A and B are shown apart, each in its own frame.
Chain A
Amino acid sequence: MLSKKQAKMFFLGGTAVFFLIFIGMTVDTLVNGVPKYTHASQIDDQVRLGRHLWDSNNCMGCHTIMGEGAYYAPELTKVYERRGPEYIKTTFNFPGGWRPNGRNMVEYNFTEQEKEALVAFLKWVGESDLNGFPPKPSVQLNK
């Protein structure tokens, strides 16, 4: 039968081995993977400001991007491709809050530059290589 000491070795040994593998994979991902998959060279001041606005207004508290966030409002990974910049910019400062289908967005007070920045950020997100996410629907009723 397994002794307590062996059980302890299993715990410490296993943890150490898998932790090291994890660190190795992390380094490879950050050095070789992310720059290519996310076009990191295209992250300019606009995209940076856009992300700052995205974070500080907690847009993720209603929407998802890259499938992460809350499930109250649409997935925005491909919104630039789906709606285009002008439509996106209309939603922000819409009087009373944007409300096309009965769900209310917060009414913001963004400057033109801030709107452009958010659009730039969403465009950058949409151009990242996300291993096939979001999936293409097999049946397209709307189109």
Chain B
Amino acid sequence: MKFKSQKVAYYFFALSMLLLSLQIVYGFIMAFAHMGFDGLHEWIPFNAATATHKNLLVVWILSGFMGAGYFIIPDESDTELWSVPLALLQFYSFAIVGVIAVVGFHVGWFEGRKFLEIPRPLDYLVALNVILFLVILLMTMFKGKKRTTTAWVLTSGLVFAALLYLPGMIWFDNHTVDSFFRWWVVHLWVEGVWELIMGGILAYLLIKLTGVDREVIEKWLYVIVGLTFLSGILGTGHHYYFIGVPKYWLIVGGIFSALEPLAFLGMTLFAIQMYRKGNKKHPNKLAIYWTLSTAIVAFLGAGLLGLAHTLPGVNLYTHGTLVTAMHGHLAFWGAYASLVLAIISYSMPLMTGRKIYDNSIGHMAFWFSNIGMIGMTMAFAAAGVAQVYMERIVGLDFMQAQLEIEPHFFVLIIAATVFSIGITLFIINFIKFGVPVDEAIGEGEEFSALQTS
């Protein structure tokens, strides 16, 4: 760690870990409900559980991104954070809004718009909070001595993510229009600007961990985010096939969304190539594992499993079935959850001075969570394909088909248990690090000498 103020990141990472654990609890509640055990229905009905599961996901990932911003931007700009008290204010207000939202879901205060269930009054607080976050980052960059491409890509990803939240806050009378703009948030986040954030964080990690020349890494970063927007913007059309808009979206959405995996393939090749070119001297093996797995699993979950149902002819049958949940889990896990775990694994030793780089708990956390998540994906896939076949091809009634696929949710729960063991081990490591200390300043700076240029 170079600057004292980078320690602010710790708060956000700790919040991420807490919310991730809660998210998993709600996942189990839903998995049991799908299997027919809905004993909690009276207190936590499925729609409260699902809103909580999805929003905790989004909030812990955003919290991880914010922590990453506070850790990376001072380092890249070569200056202390503009204001630590304001960053702490931003942290506490963010956490409080999150708590209000989650408690609200349990007393039926929500807006049934998938992924945007947070009621509109709270949206304004979220927006204010994010503006404060961005002001702190931008001020830091402007007072800094350096402005690197990596820092710009990361920051513009965060700025555009904030701007894209706005169309999701407007009320439209027509449900179709509402849905249309909801995808500006959800799709243009995960298949657009969040990929800038992902590219920025990955580039930072690769520069630090492999020692490859910054100019080379940043050139490819541009190519990858270029591919992202080239395909991802018009790729939004894959959510417009069947919501009451003209047919040209079937063609445009089909073609461009089928190109989206290229950007993810780019990330995979980029990371592997840089790792191979690099000097492999960095001792933080766990951070390297998570960085590479992010690049690889994102391609599997988002790229391949996305492609599997993105053509209109296929999507007509899979749209609105558990096939979507199969893709949603591995894509979010590979691209964004693993990314946050990667930056945490990289930064914690530097902030706390404790060299937990390569311990067996850390490796077990890595393998259990990844294997568990792949198992969960396969369980959702089996359930989803069976559902499509019975409901959409053979014409069984919805509930009849659901009763047939209950066993797959048993498999889901087994795999989810393996996954949860992995996450628990990750959190044990996180706790073992303890809290950041000022003595850790200068920690890790010796590795800058490893850079090849």
A interface residues (Cβ-Cβ under 8 A, vs B):
2-4, 7-8, 10-11, 14-15, 18-19, 21-22, 25-26, 28-30, 32-34, 37-38, 40, 43, 48, 51, 54-62, 64-75, 97, 100-104, 106, 121, 125, 128-135, 137-143
List chain B residues, Cβ under 8 A from A60: 47, 112-114
Q: Do B316 and A132 touch (CB < 8 A)? A: yes
List chain B residues, Cβ under 8 A from A103: 33, 36, 38, 399, 402
Q: Do B50 and A55 touch (CB < 8 A)? A: no
**What CA separation (Å) do A101 and B41 show in the bound complex?**
15
Q: Do A130 and B242 touch (CB < 8 A)? A: yes
Rounded to whole Å, the gap between the CB of B211 and the closest CB of chain A is 19
Q: Do A15 and B395 touch (CB < 8 A)? A: no
List chain B residues, Cβ under 8 A from A72: 30, 33-34, 46, 50
List chain A residues, Cβ under 8 A from B392: 134-135, 137
List chain A residues, Cβ under 8 A from B246: 28-29, 32-33, 37
List chain B residues, Cβ under 8 A from A69: 112, 114, 320
* Contact flag A10-B226 (CB < 8 Å), given A4-B215, A22-B234, A130-B243: yes
Further pairs besides A51-B175, A54-B175: 14, Cβ < 8 Å: A10-B222, A11-B225, A18-B233, A19-B229, A22-B234, A30-B177, A62-B45, A66-B179, A67-B320, A70-B47, A103-B36, A135-B392, A137-B394, A140-B395
List chain B residues, Cβ under 8 A from A21: 233-234
B403, CB-defined interface residue at 8 Å: yes
* Contact flag A61-B320 (CB < 8 Å), given A11-B226, A29-B245, A67-B242: no
* Contact flag A4-B219 (CB < 8 Å), given A67-B320, A128-B176: yes
Q: Could you tell me which residues of chain B, from 173 to 231, have a CB within 8 Å of some CB in chain A?
A: 173-177, 179-180, 215, 218-220, 222-223, 225-226, 229-230
List chain B residues, Cβ under 8 A from A128: 176, 244
Interchain Cβ contacts under 8 Å between A and B, 15 examples: A10-B226, A38-B244, A54-B112, A58-B112, A61-B51, A65-B175, A66-B176, A67-B319, A70-B114, A71-B322, A97-B41, A100-B399, A103-B36, A133-B242, A138-B393
**What CA separation (Å) do A55 and B172 show in the bound complex?**
12
**What CA separation (Å) do A136 and B395 show in the bound complex?**
8
Q: Do A61 and B112 touch (CB < 8 A)? A: yes
Rounded to whole Å, the gap between the CB of A87 and the closest CB of chain B is 14
What are the 7 closest A-B residue pairs judged by CB atoms, nearest first? A61-B47, A137-B395, A67-B320, A133-B242, A58-B112, A7-B222, A11-B226
List chain A residues, Cβ under 8 A from B396: 141-142
Rounded to whole Å, the gap between the CB of A140 and the closest CB of chain B is 5
Q: B316's closest neighbor in chain A, by CB?
A: A135
Q: Do B245 and A7 touch (CB < 8 A)? A: no
Rounded to whole Å, the gap between the CB of A32 and the closest CB of chain B is 8
B101, CB-defined interface residue at 8 Å: no
Q: B216's closest neighbor in chain A, by CB?
A: A4
Q: B215's closest neighbor in chain A, by CB?
A: A4
* Contact flag A142-B397 (CB < 8 Å), given A4-B219, A11-B229, A68-B179: yes
B162, CB-defined interface residue at 8 Å: no
List chain A residues, Cβ under 8 A from B215: 4
**What CA separation (Å) do A14 and B242 show in the bound complex?**
28
Q: Do B36 and A102 touch (CB < 8 A)? A: yes
Rounded to whole Å, the gap between the CB of B26 and the closest CB of chain A is 12
Q: Do A66 and B114 touch (CB < 8 A)? A: no
**What CA separation (Å) do A26 and B46 show in the bound complex?**
34
Q: Digit string of B382-414 for contact with A (CB within 8 Å is 1, else 0)? A: 000001000111111111101100000000000
**What CA separation (Å) do A140 and B391 show in the bound complex?**
10
Rounded to whole Å, the gap between the CB of B231 and the closest CB of chain A is 8
Rounded to whole Å, the gap between the CB of B64 and the closest CB of chain A is 25
Q: Do A139 and B394 touch (CB < 8 A)? A: yes
**What CA separation (Å) do A60 and B97 show in the bound complex?**
23
